[in-house]
Amino acid sequence: MPFRRKLLRSFVVAAMGLSMASFQGNAFAEQAAGADSSAKPADWSRNAVIYQVYPRSFADSDGDGIGDLPGVTSRLPYLGKLGVDAVWLSPFYKSPQADAGYDVTDYRVVDPMFGKLEDFDEMLKKAHAMGIKIIVDLVPNHTSDEHVWFQEALKSPPGSPERARYIFRDGKGKDGELPPNNWPSVFGKAAWDRVPGEKQWYLHLFDSKQPDLNWDNPEVRAEFEKVLRFWLDRGVDGFRVDVAHGLIKVQGLPDIDIKEGQENAGALVGPMWDQDGVHEIYRSWRKVLDSYPGKRIMVAEAWVNPKERLAHYIRPDEMNQAFNFDYLMTKWDAKAFKEVIDYSLALSASVNAPTTWVTSNHDTVRATSRYGLKELGAHALPGNGIGPKSPQPDEALGLRRARALAMLTMALPGSSYIYQGEELGLPEHTTLEAKYRQDPMFIRTKGGEIGRDGCRIPLPWKADAPSFGFGPSNKTWLPQPASYAKYAVDREESAPDSTLKLYRQILELRREYKLGDGKLSWVDSGKKDVLTFDNGDVRVVINLGEQSVPFPAGGTLVLSSEPLKDQDTLPGNTAVWLTRS
Ligand code: NOJ
């Protein structure tokens, strides 16, 4: 059936002053129906929109400048209205916060700065009552150096069972004064620290306050199964698995071949990354999760190379999803997006897993700012932030592209992620002064790597309130730029063409047209900068070029990423959804 253009909704409707009421829809998210119709419980995550809450920066209930779990609970209605299916919470466990909570002292305790276990239970109960699933972060590659196990290890002699929970080795050189091998930390400098007064060193692929666990030790495996059960018993719907590609290291810990300019373990290949032995661990976890009622899921944070190895993590007896970082790193180019979409769909189909679509998270420059840069350069890589001395993004261009990208991303079959603030079009804080920066990456590299603080700024909720309504005081653990006022939730609530309103419409239509469960078929656009595809009844057209092109023929326009001045042309950096009816 040809696409026609008759009924106008969204920004076109708004621009014409028509009522949007019919479009706001129900306040709370419905459960996404899984694609799986077999006897096993349906995997709700196959088509889910999953919203990442970074608890430190989401909402602060007590005014200490750090977000917390009661803050999350208080904002659940906002997430319900947005229309997300699930929330992934970054770590809120007891931690000295050397890496913003990815350094865990006790996996079963809520850090007092985030609240209490009862606050977690309350949040979970309320989320479930609204039909929102909750997945929590599991950090199995390393603990905090303040974890009781590591403290016991330091007090115990070399060769003791306490030390065997971590990776201790004698140093090289006459007195063990040199590290056991040449591995660098992902955060800069050596991946080893020496135990004071000893020949022994311990491995930390990240900060020195994050000692790596020894996953060849059955005690470590048994402990993590118990941690999984602890949270499953409380009712969580799944886990995001941190550094899923790092748990197993090659026996003997051989030196690596360090190429110039790659003096960073983040190079993705090497004896510490993506070893086949990790999969046995995930297969055992799958069994644990499947022994619980409902469908509990796992999503892998796995940076792998070659990229087809990502499929190993999402085989039917392992995890349900893996973050699609290739998509996140795509440059603003139609051909590049088409290639990554085709590749991602084929890869996940090869193991019958859903594809995920990710455009921002707490480790990477926000899409709004990334795509406002003249040259993307290395800024798509985690930690490669934009600092005050870097070339600055064009904020308006970045926002325009990010809105078009949201319409592309959410129209793709599979599961899509939203990083808190993305739905506001929030930019990175690119001019954050060095004195405020807390990311260990910035600190260990002495500013050589700008790090990730710029994407972790506390959210603006109210334009005219202290801390932009982040909390009841004017305190925020990182300063908010003045420009955040215009992205505040209350401002966007009252602006007809705000990014928040766009996202609500995108998510509602995505559900209505079952885009997450759909199938993509490309349509030749005849233009090098324009991508066109059909997913069920929806035709998606995105113009990634700067120049306008003739408006796509046929179909009913239901949504556009920008208000359209006329219906003859599709402007540059703009996306539209059309339907057949
Ligand atoms: C990946 C997490 O996303 C990141 O924030 C953290 O620093 C490292 N893993 C180490 O846990």
242 lines ligand 1 (CB under 6 A): yes
**22 CA from centroid of ligand 1 (Å):** 41
Q: Does the beta carbon of 99 sit less than 6 angstroms from any atom of ligand 1? A: yes
301 Cβ below 6 A of ligand 1: yes
Q: What is the 3-state secondary structure (H, E, C) of 212-276?
A: EECCCCHHHHHHHHHHHHHHHHHCCCEEEECCCCCCCCCCCCCCCCCCCCCCCHHHCCCCCCCCC
Q: Among residues 68, 242, 274, 453, which one is catalytic?
A: 242
CA distance 140 to 381: 22
CA distance linking residue 87 with residue 196, whole number of Å: 42
DSSP state for residue 298 in the 8-state scheme: E
Residue 187 CA: nearest ligand 1 atom is: 7
> In the prediction, which pLDDT does 267 show?
58
Residue 318 a catalytic site member: no
| 325 CB near ligand 1 (under 6 Å) | no
d(CA 274, CA 261): 21
Which residues of the chain, if any, have pLDDT below 50?
1-37, 263, 265
Q: Note the pLDDT of residue 557.
A: 96
Q: How far is the CA of 513 from the centre of ligand 1 (A)?
A: 35
Distance CA 473, CA 246 (A): 40
90 CA: nearest ligand 1 atom: 3
> Residue 460's closest CA among 429, 417, 418?
429
As a whole number of angstroms, the distance between CA 545 and CA 479 comes to 35
pLDDT of residue 34: 35
- 136 C-alpha to ligand 1 centroid (Å): 14
pTM higher than 0.75? yes
Taking the C-alpha atoms of residue 447 and residue 167, their distance in angstroms, rounded to an integer, is 28
Q: What is the dihedral of CA 285, 286, 288, 294, to 10 degrees?
A: 140
Q: Check 68, 212, 274, 301 and give the catalytic one.
A: 301
pLDDT of residue 19: 25
For residue 301, report the distance from its CA to the centre of ligand 1, in Å.
Answer: 9
Domains and CATH numbers, the chain: 42-143+219-506 (3.20.20.80), 148-203 (3.90.400.10)
* Ligand 1 contact via 363 beta carbon (within 6 Å): yes
d(CA 107, CA 100): 15
Measured CA distances, 53 to 277, 355, 581 (Å)? 31, 21, 37
Cα-to-centroid distance, 102 and ligand 1 (Å) = 6
Please identify, by atom number, the ligand 1 atom nearest to the C-alpha of residue 361: 3
Given phi > 0 = left and psi -120 to 50 = alpha, else beta, which region is 323? beta
Task: Give the integer Cα–Cα distance in Å for 570 and 554.
Answer: 13
Active site residue 566: no
Decide: helix, strand or coil at residue 47: helix
**pLDDT value, residue 30:** 29
243 CB near ligand 1 (under 6 Å)? yes
